[in-house]
A and B are shown apart, each in its own frame.
Chain A
Amino acid sequence: MKKNLISGAAGIILALFVSFISHEQGLMNLGFHLGTYESEKEEKKIEDTLRLFNRNFASFFNTGGGLAGLNEFPAANMIKRRIFQEINDWKKNNQIIVYDKDVFELESIDLMSPVSAVAIAREVWFLTVQDSETRKSLSRGVKANPVRIRYLMKKDGDNWRVLEYEVFGVDDDIPVMQKVRL
């Protein structure tokens, strides 16, 4: 009986050890599941990342595709591609679209796992179309664009980046996120 107990305990310890060493940052993952993860620190990092994201986002549009800040832009390649695709579309007509941020308020940050999070922000942007050379406004006025944005974030190493974002109207309900997206 004693031998069986020792054998069973050894089996459990060995299995947990093998499981632990077969994952990178197994201790951090375990901490997350047990609720001892430093979530406040990560939430602050996520907020900083989103502020940097929006600063660079506006800067790319406002400079008509200037590449300054591209390396530090915390976004997936598909997002970068969409931004520069639109900038080039405007450029073809000698125009640029200017994004002027008025409001950025984080509504919530949900850490889904140690390396993924969902953040919802309320943002207001003022948009104007300008002539790319004279910078004269070609719009009838300034378009106020109040939106709610759901950011899907991923952590690479020590840094967070925006994997994808979904844009909703301020009166739209935000549907349950489909797990497959993360």
Chain B
Amino acid sequence: MRFPFRLLIVIFSLTYYLSERAGLFGVAPFSTLEVLYSIPILSASVFYLIITLITAIKHVRTMKTTGWMLMASGILLIAGLWVSYLTRFSGEVVLTEGQTFFSGHNDYIPETFYRGRFSKVPDIGMELEKITPSLSDDKSNIQGLKGTFKLISKEGADSRDVSITDRLPTEIARTLFMIGDFGHSVRYALKSQEGRVLDSSFIYMKLFPPGSEDSFRLLSPLTYYVRYFPDGDEKSEEPRIGLRIVRNKDIVFNGRVNLTENVPVENSRISFEEVRMWTRLSIVHDWGMIFAFCGMILGLLTVVMRAIKA
């Protein structure tokens, strides 16, 4: 009866995982981490471990090599889950070219941030120097991304360049880094009637592919809707900004402007001074992945050995 009980736990875990990832009963699907670190999965892993250990103790003399291997594989997978749950540090942050990043800061995108109870915050600093996207022929899809970063050491010396891509994670100081997604950050400048800059800042926006629109607001009730055409439009080959300024339901400006061109708005002017690229940097520091990886390899090896013997 013991083996079917372990099977029950495995089937339960797989079904629960698939149900939550598909969002069968939820409003939206949960992320992989949310499901793996949920109480049902963690509880099931503990039950599985207890049953496995009881079985091992009872059959210590009669168990075959592949039996031991399968048991060790299960224990490694469960250990990986729990080590990950307790010590993982992961998150994603949006970085614009020229922006500096320190792993201990608090600007991670909230829904991507996870910090286990016993996690250690990696101590890594880097500056995003350049993003090089590979685009499809019609420039509407990203085929690959490469980010050039400059590592910053505490002492300020020994800085070196590293490349991080969207294909395989790059390991730096036992932490995995990857980039994904890409867009444009526009730097607006809000000026007085006399041309004095009152406020200026980069805002990262989803403006890729050209024609995509995003918006931002400052302190006034105005909403600025922006589109970016890096190769210009029918009127100019220079980069152009599609701008629509709306005050509640009143469209106060709707047109295309060049970079640095001033647009009068209420008692001030707004212009877009420069456009840079941004990307999403993901950072993962998780020892549990090593346990889980070893468990998976051992499990596969066991299955292969059993198949050969059969």
Interface residues of A (CB under 8 A from B): 3-4, 6-8, 10-12, 14-16, 18-20, 22-23, 26-27, 29-30, 33, 57, 61, 82-83, 85-86, 89, 97, 99, 113-116, 123, 125, 127, 143, 145, 147, 149, 166-169, 172-173, 175-176, 178, 180
Contact = CB atoms under 8 A, between A and B. Distances in A.
B246 interface: yes
A176 B227 CA distance: 13
Interface string B134-160: 000000000000000000000000000
A7 B4 contact: yes
Q: What is the interface residue range for chain B against chain A?
A: 35 or more
Interface in B58-92: none
23 contacts: A3-B4, A4-B3, A7-B7, A11-B9, A11-B14, A12-B12, A14-B8, A15-B12, A15-B16, A16-B24, A19-B20, A22-B38, A29-B23, A29-B26, A30-B24, A33-B24, A57-B249, A89-B221, A99-B249, A127-B250, A143-B250, A167-B225, A175-B227
B211 interface: yes
Contact of B249 (A10, A12, A29, A167): A167
Given A3-B4, A19-B20, A147 B25 contact: no
Contact of B25 (A10, A30, A116, A166): A30
Contacts, number: 125
Given A11-B15, A57-B249, A167-B251, 13 more contacts: A4-B4, A7-B11, A15-B13, A19-B24, A22-B38, A23-B25, A113-B27, A114-B27, A127-B250, A145-B251, A166-B225, A167-B246, A175-B212
B5 to A, nearest CB: 7
Contacts of A176: 212
B120 interface: no
Main secondary structure of the interface of B (DSSP, over half): mixed
Interface of B: 1, 3-5, 7-16, 19-20, 23-28, 38, 40, 206, 211-215, 220-221, 223, 225, 227, 244, 246-251, 254
B223 A167 contact: yes
Contacts of A168: 244
A116 B27 CA distance: 9
A19 B25 contact: yes
Looking at A23, A97, A113, A149, the one whose CB has the most chain B CB atoms below 10 A away is: A23
Nearest to B20: A19
